[in-house]
Chains A and B, each alone.
Chain A
Amino acid sequence: MSKKLPKHIVHLLLILGFFLLLALVAKAYLTDPSFYEYGHYRADAVPELAAGEPVFKGSAYCLGCHEKRKSDWQNGAHVAVQCEVCHGTNREVCLNPGVEHTENEKSAIPTDTIRLCTTCHLAMPARPDSQPQIVLGQHPFPDEETPQCYTCHKPHSPSNKEPAEEGAPAVAVTEAQAELPAVVAKCARCHGKQGQGRNKTPALAGMQSDVFIELMSKYKSGDTDSKTMAKYAKNLSDEEIVKLAHYYEGLAAPPTD
């Protein structure tokens, strides 16, 4: 029993021990010092990942300079849409805090607003009903040659309501409206259901009838800058223009602010 282990076994154990040692040494050398600090990973990787510079600055950053837009944006239905969603962001400018963006460089002004706006507002199965949506082809665009959403809608503060509902007093259907429903409906597309005017269109409600008739006659004769109005006026008879003039004169003018 007191006999020593056979030599070949001792050698085998020595060799195993040697390799074990080699492995341990290799591990000690090759493992990052922070590896087991918090768990089975390199703890230094966490501050490395946390160190990245933000690219999206957030609307507060933009409004620092673009104060003019602030109240518009904050009081409209687009308050949940951050500046950079429509205007984009520029990685290079954002990641170099010293570099200031030049005008229109970082904040591109969208040119194709139909494409931009339909990103969220195109009628589509799967979009919840609470989302305002339009069917392209059925939605009226006053300027048919270069249709743009901003002709009628304010991009920074579109209203949640149908434009006719805001502020305009309720008016009973007048004779003119009853007589000319189709024509009034066409006007209402751009000028609002109560003729109160929209973003880019003037108010018709409360306009003096002779002013109205004079303007419309000009449009009808083609003596105007507005191709859109010329097109609409061309199809109106003199009698219809007079009726419209009286109809809009009878409507209460929208409050001016």
Chain B
Amino acid sequence: MKNDKKKTQRREFLCTTGKALAGLGVLAGGGNLLAQASGEKKEKSPGSFPTADYDWTKHRWAYGIDANKCIGCLRCVEACKIENDVVGDAQHFRTWVERYVYLEGEDHALVDSHADPGNIAASGSESEYRFDNRYKDAKVSKAFFVPKMCNHCAHPACVQVCPVGATFRTEDGVVLIDHDYCIGCRYCVQACPYGARFFREEEGVSDKCTWCYHLITKGKMPACVEVCPTGTRVFGDLNDKSSPVSEFIKNNAVQVLKPESGNAPMCFYVGLDKDVS
């Protein structure tokens, strides 16, 4: 008898508290959803997004790189670091340039970039960028530079793997990272087939090229394009048939890096070689 009574009491208690909590939850949740719905309506009504002067539905950005023109001056790497306040060491960078050198009789290229110890020594510090002249006396059969960066893919693997929706592709075709939402799991760093992402240890978030979203939404060029002295780097709007990048794609046989990865990159290259990937 005693046991039975105890059981009933416990059951009653669980039932009532459960119902009460459920009721509260429904009220709160419903209220919140309602608030959200009304908030959405308010935000969407005025003008363009994301800024008052810039409507992202009117643009479709793309990037062109003519590897035949690159002189490896690395002004792009430096400008990117300054413009975007990227950590000034050799291991954190949003764009970089690779040097491919085929020595006579060799089938495969030797590759180095500004992060190579020899090149750091040549520049004098990790926050300056310069290629050394290590091949000046070597027998070189072929050599060239290839600038690289985030390809802002149309089907980005990094976005697919992000567990929290911290990285996304905008309506105007730029893959961005929301640093407030990034939890620092680094799945995206692993997923990117181009190695375009890096981790900012101090903030615990991943980072990468944004095509200088703060510049292109103001009608300017990304910093790397702005400073490139040879016209290697080209940027523009595919919706504008006379933009530099539309002309670049129209007038050249363009390629993309690792097409087999299925990411559909939006950086178009001229002058790629078999070892470049």
Contact = CB atoms under 8 A, between A and B. Distances in A.
Of B21, B22, B229, the most chain A CB neighbours within 10 A belong to B229
A85 B21 contact: no
A226 to B, nearest CB: 32
Interface stretch (B149-157, B173-181, B187-195): B173-181
Interface string B111-151: 00000000000000000001101011010100111000000
A186 B171 CA distance: 63
Interface stretch (A39-47, A171-179, A215-223, A234-242): A39-47
Contact of B18 (A18, A29, A40, A78): A18
B79 A25 contact: no
B170 interface: yes
Of A46, A120, A131, the most chain B CB neighbours within 10 A belong to A46
Of B25, B100, B217, the most chain A CB neighbours within 10 A belong to B25
A14 B18 contact: yes
A37 to B, nearest CB: 6
Interface in A103-141: 119-120, 122-128, 130-131
A15 B181 CA distance: 31
Given A29-B32, A53-B214, A125-B136, A80 B231 contact: yes
Contact of B82 (A37, A41, A52, A56): A56
Interface of A: 14-15, 17-18, 21-22, 24-25, 28-29, 32-35, 37-43, 45-47, 49-56, 58, 78, 80-82, 84-85, 89, 91, 119-120, 122-128, 130-131
Given A42-B180, A91-B82, 18 more contacts: A18-B22, A28-B28, A41-B166, A42-B165, A45-B181, A50-B214, A55-B83, A56-B226, A78-B229, A80-B228, A81-B229, A85-B75, A119-B75, A120-B73, A123-B136, A126-B100, A126-B135, A127-B72
Interface of B: 18, 21-22, 25-26, 28-29, 32-33, 35-36, 39-40, 43-44, 49-51, 54, 56, 68-75, 79, 82-83, 85, 99-101, 130-131, 133, 135-136, 138, 140, 143-145, 165-168, 170-171, 176, 178, 180-181, 210, 213-215, 217-218, 220, 223, 226-231
26 contacts: A18-B22, A21-B26, A22-B21, A25-B25, A25-B28, A25-B32, A28-B36, A32-B181, A37-B43, A40-B165, A40-B168, A41-B178, A42-B181, A45-B181, A50-B213, A52-B213, A56-B226, A80-B228, A84-B79, A123-B136, A125-B135, A126-B100, A126-B131, A126-B143, A126-B144, A128-B144
